[in-house]
Structure 1
């Protein structure tokens, strides 16, 4: 079980409280991390990762200098970086299939670092809070356990999750940090917010909403975001959802309705409308090919039209 903290191999972790008690420096790092100013990331340099997505790149990337993700309540954001090459991966995990997802993140970083014999794999975890159902706590443990089961040595550097990412607001537990960014050049991880969550934001959200599995969205050697192809069955019940109040939607579709960011319902409604507008998603992928996007010189994502 090669998960290390301060170069010491970690035994099985039974609770986050135990993890922090045995490693007080992780508490100190978490306090310092959550006290950092939240950065509003410029879309022109950004690759945004949605729930059940991951992306990896290197400092040689000419298109992207920051990768990031947001809107995590019980979800966790995972950053894995190779210190020798600077290859870095970010993932937005919701616990859907953690044990099979973590090996994908390791493989993505290793595939960009095979030529480098120096350096090590460093792990940063951010997300979750003290939710009533303990979903955050369970996800923290499951992610750590999955990394312990990898063949590679992995060094836990940051763990700002569950109780260390929790704040009471009017008697209600909420996350302190909902989003993070990573500077690709240096590997710096920082609290972040994002005004742009594309490209193809609604399509990508629809894939997740209809139970899509974790997927890698970026081809770093070409600077291309790849979406799909994906499909979903007819969703006639969504018409009923659109007649419900915001409160009803929030309470029915959120794992933590009292802690969601203010635009949660708006985003859910936009996703549902997209699905209703595209009952046959095959039409979105001519020739059963994915949608592909590349950044322009101005920093916008333009769709690459297939010949």
Structure 2
């Protein structure tokens, strides 16, 4: 169940759920103030550093122990949502980069597996950051006696936020919602009037649990960047990952463990065909928000396709369907284990 200001969001009216609950959260003064404080913070550039960072790609999740990891974060979110769950007692933190409604329920279960440790009464601080109004929000009057309002679902961001809120509300754990910087609270417009996210990335300082806007680069989105991006592209066709977040990190051993994913040989042909598209065509065909993508979006897509053209057989990347494992080295980077 979701709590705000220490109070549970409950109602005797059974219609107070879903979109009406979402409207309530978007209009809550405490959450509005928290969003404004987050947006007022300067964005932190995160280059390669000897500090113990951990980066989470789209559709991935990781649960970290603050004694082993100093900072954990994600970026490149447009219509996606970054979800952070922190256990106040154990200080364990789980972070995910959710992109589709199909991973909401199972993804939340994955994240909580090492955070609550079977203690459903644990106080869990929660932050939701990302997504924007890729489609204008339309409100209609609800049917409940309290006069609540409902949202008409549209676009990509809104259905995802609805799903995450519903998944949190329906569970037994106590989720203390600290940040709700999504949708209207995370939307700005460029010179052409196109909607864009204000915050597309963030980092969590694990020792304090504090969250700040952040932007990573090629040196800090590591290790195994291209293979992890490919898993995002092809995992929807691998039945093993149906409804799940992608596993990336060994919490107890502080290792990157890129769990395997399969793809059909036709992906090599598909990648070759996509490589022939112009940059503008790639944005229109491959993005849920073409006007809001980062400048390196097209370059990253082309690097993915180049790899798939060169390695169309997934067994080259994951021989024997074994994970790709990386350990931290003395310089602060990652080295692949043989």
TM, length-normalised to structure 1: 0.92
- For 1:173 and 1:93, the matched residues in 2 are separated by 20
How far the C-alpha of 1:207 sits from its partner, in A, is 0.9
After superposition, residues 1-307 of structure 1 pair within 5 angstroms as 2-11=1-10, 12-15=17-20, 16-21=22-27, 23-44=28-49, 45-61=52-68, 64-95=69-100, 96-111=102-117, 120-132=123-135, 133-170=154-191, 171-195=193-217, 196-212=220-236, 213=241, 214-234=245-265, 235=267, 236-305=269-338
Q: 1:119 to 1:17 in 2, by over 3 A?
A: closer
Query: Contact (CA 8 Å) 2:121, 2:174: kept in 1 or not?
Result: no
- For 1:46 and 1:100, the matched residues in 2 are separated by 26
Shifted more, 258-267 versus 280-289: the winner is: 280-289
How far the C-alpha of 1:13 sits from its partner, in A, is 4.2
Q: Secondary structure at the match of 1:186?
A: coil
Shifted more, 131-140 versus 32-41: the winner is: 131-140
- For 1:51 and 1:180, the matched residues in 2 are separated by 13
Q: Paired residues, what number?
A: 298
- For 1:35 and 1:277, the matched residues in 2 are separated by 44
- For 1:241 and 1:20, the matched residues in 2 are separated by 39
How far the C-alpha of 1:109 sits from its partner, in A, is 1.3
- For 1:19 and 1:224, the matched residues in 2 are separated by 37
Query: Contact (CA 8 Å) 2:247, 2:258: kept in 1 or not?
Result: no
The unaligned stretches of length 5 or more in structure 2 are: 11-16, 136-153
Q: 1:211 to 1:161 in 2, by over 3 A?
A: same
The unaligned stretches of length 5 or more in structure 1 are: none
Query: Contact (CA 8 Å) 1:82, 1:109: kept in 2 or not?
Result: yes
Structure 1 residue runs of 4 or more that deviate by more than 3 Å after TM superposition: 15-18, 116-119
Query: Contact (CA 8 Å) 1:13, 1:19: kept in 2 or not?
Result: no
- For 1:13 and 1:285, the matched residues in 2 are separated by 40
How far the C-alpha of 1:189 sits from its partner, in A, is 0.8
TM, length-normalised to structure 2: 0.84
Q: Summarize deviations over 1:241-278 as a string: whole Å, max 9, x none.
A: 11110000100111010111111111111111111111
Query: Contact (CA 8 Å) 1:84, 1:118: kept in 2 or not?
Result: no
Query: Contact (CA 8 Å) 1:103, 1:150: kept in 2 or not?
Result: no
Q: 1:117 to 1:288 in 2, by over 3 A?
A: closer
Query: Contact (CA 8 Å) 1:75, 1:136: kept in 2 or not?
Result: yes
